[in-house]
Amino acid sequence: ALLLNSIAEGANEYPKPEHVNFTYGTAGFRTLATKLPPVLFRVGLLAVLRSKRLEGATIGVMVTASHNPEPDNGVKLVDPSGEMLDPTWEAHATALSNCPTTESLISTFTTLATHLRVDLHQPANIVYARDTRPSGPDLIKALERGFSVFGESVKLNDLGITTTPILHYVVKATNDRTGEYGTPNIKGYNEKMSKAFKTLIGNRGPLAPLYVDCANGVGANALSDFTATLGEILPVHPLNTATTTQGALNHQCGADFVKTKQALPPSIQQSGVLAKPNTRACSFDGDADRIVFYYQHETKGTFRLLDGDKIAVMVAMFLGDLVVKAKLDEEHKLQVGVVQTAYANGSSTKYLTSRNIPVTCVPTGVKHLHHAAQRYDIGVYFEANGHGTVLFADHAIKALKSASPQSPDSANAIKNLLAFSELINQAVGDALSDMLLVEAVLAHRGWGASEWDAGYEDLPNRLVKVEVPDRNIFVAVDAERKLQYPLGLQDKIEDAMKKYDMGRSFVRPSGTEDCVRVYAEAKTTTEAENLAIAVTDLVK
């Protein structure tokens, strides 16, 4: 009863606004920041419930709206393994956030605690962080108010301002009783990564300079901390680091801008840094869990994008080659597989398949990619937009650690595979870690950007955002490659596709915005554009 009184007191300070319906979607809660304080208070309650339910295992809470505009914000929960919140709890989050009154909040909380068999006497442990958004401090206050109703039984670890993937790392490392994953703090993260990177680069450094667009977000802080630990082997030039300039976050820069516009951020264009042949740059998004690379064509000067698909293909091919070199016996022969979504460029899928690398296609959303990747010995997953990572199965690590190599070459390959498993964030996509992954592979291959790019040519493509009266009438199936409802629409889309050489198009409701997305690709830019227009007309 004491607890319920204390919840009521807090809830009264954070009444739910009327006429707003919150949903815990693929990216947690995400909307205009001014609407969010009551949601944060309630997420505080839920995070504690989840931790108590798991006998005090550490739960993570990240306050960010990633690549969205600065006035937006959001919040998501991280499970003890460092992965996204268990999907069955997403509904509980939605239920708590929508309780219209303090009374209904109390009753929903009580029902949840009973149904989920939460022993409220258990301890709870929470680690939390935020990105650089100006709305962050207020939202953290609301979150902490939620924790505070439970009094002393909750132990808190505030990481302050840091990236989403670092928060995931700290959650995973905190829960790892063996201590092998790494020291559970930001310093531990930097040390783990720089050690693995140095092993991989060996005497190949110093590498060519790399320009990094930090989207004027938290990636700027993380990058400067990290390079201080790393030293000279990778000369990094941070750009767009104005984390305290109002309105700068994700504005005309960052991974989402580059991928959507298929163009350089104007700031980089103007700086002229890419004019020197084969100079590469990359862009993080607002919470540094996505990355895309790019460069300028040496003779034509055109913009060349190296997106999530290009990263996945290069990394999968390289790890596949290392596995062959490692000469693990037949029984332990590890299979490298790739997980993509329908947004993967058709050329990338074709390239992988023609080289006997298995490809799985799953619906949008990191949790789907992550789970599918866990089914491979070494599972590479990337969304075309640059969110992705590589998962090494436990049995794969065991096989590598217990192998008895017959040649220096195999011994080297095994050492490198193990170093990659340390370098790559095993919890979630991570711009900083993926940046180093790409740099390490390029260094080993002896490649610059253009050699990396040469593998396959992207099909021209268009992504269109269509506002519709009700996006819920659109139901996608078959890993979102087809529409089941509205009835009959899929047939019309397929008729449109047939009119274009190598035409492919699909429609799905967005999980993060109030719109449906139309994707189209075809042999030429004009054809891709026309197909996108034709399908958009069908949807409207």
Residues of each annotated binding site: 66, 285, 287, 289, 383-385, 508-512, 517
Q: Which stretch binds ligand NG1 (CB under 6 A): 164-172, 268-276, 446-454, 509-517?
A: 509-517
Instruction: Name which of Zn ion, ligand NG1, none residue 289 binds, using a CB cut-off of 5 to 8 Å depending on partner kind.
Output: Zn ion
Distance CA 373, CA 178 (A): 24
Q: Does 510 bind ligand NG1 (CB under 6 A)?
A: yes
Just list the catalytic residues.
66
Task: Cis check for the bond before 123: say yes or no (omega within 30 of 0).
Answer: no
Determine if residue 237 is left, alpha or beta; phi over 0 gives left, psi from -120 to 50 gives alpha, anything else beta: beta
Q: Which stretch binds ligand NG1 (CB under 6 A): 212-220, 228-236, 468-476, 511-519?
A: 511-519
Q: Does 262 bind ligand NG1 (CB under 6 A)?
A: no
Distance CA 96, CA 531 (A): 42
Q: Does 430 bind Zn ion (CB under 5 A)?
A: no
**Sign of the CA dihedral with 349 first, then 355, 357, and 358 last:** positive
Identify whether the C-beta of residue 213 lies closer than 8 Å to the C-beta of residue 281.
yes
Q: Does 517 bind ligand NG1 (CB under 6 A)?
A: yes
Q: Does 287 bind Zn ion (CB under 5 A)?
A: yes
Q: Name which of 287 and 307 has its Cβ closer to Zn ion.
A: 287
* Long-range CB contacts (within 8 A, 24+) of 320-327: 320/357, 322/413, 322/416, 322/417, 322/420, 323/378, 323/413, 323/417, 325/409, 325/410, 325/412, 325/413, 326/400, 326/403, 326/405, 326/410, 326/413, 326/414, 326/417, 327/405, 327/406, 327/407, 327/410, 327/413
Distance CA 50, CA 58 (A): 9
Closest separation between CB of residue 287 and Zn ion, Å? 4
Task: Cis check for the bond before 486: say yes or no (omega within 30 of 0).
Answer: yes
Q: Does 296 bind ligand NG1 (CB under 6 A)?
A: no
Q: Does 289 bind Zn ion (CB under 5 A)?
A: yes
In this structure, the strands spanning 388-392 and 504-509 are unpaired
Determine if residue 212 is left, alpha or beta; phi over 0 gives left, psi from -120 to 50 gives alpha, anything else beta: beta
Interacting residues with ligand NG1 between 358 and 417 (CB under 6 A): 364, 383, 385, 387
> Between 48 and 87, how does the x/- string for binding to Zn ion read (CB under 5 A)?
------------------x---------------------
Q: Does 164 bind ligand NG1 (CB under 6 A)?
A: no
In the complex, residue closest to Zn ion by CB: 66
Distance CA 242, CA 246 (A): 9
Instruction: Name which of ligand NG1, Zn ion, none residue 425 binds, using a CB cut-off of 5 to 8 Å depending on partner kind.
Output: none
Tell me the binding residues for Mg(2+): 66, 285, 287, 289
Q: Which stretch binds Zn ion (CB under 5 A): 96-104, 182-190, 288-296, 419-427?
A: 288-296
Instruction: Name which of Zn ion, ligand NG1, none residue 285 binds, using a CB cut-off of 5 to 8 Å depending on partner kind.
Output: Zn ion
The residues that touch ligand NG1, with contacts defined as CB under 6 A, are 26-27, 66, 343, 364, 383, 385, 387, 510-513, 517
The residues that touch Zn ion, with contacts defined as CB under 5 A, are 66, 285, 287, 289
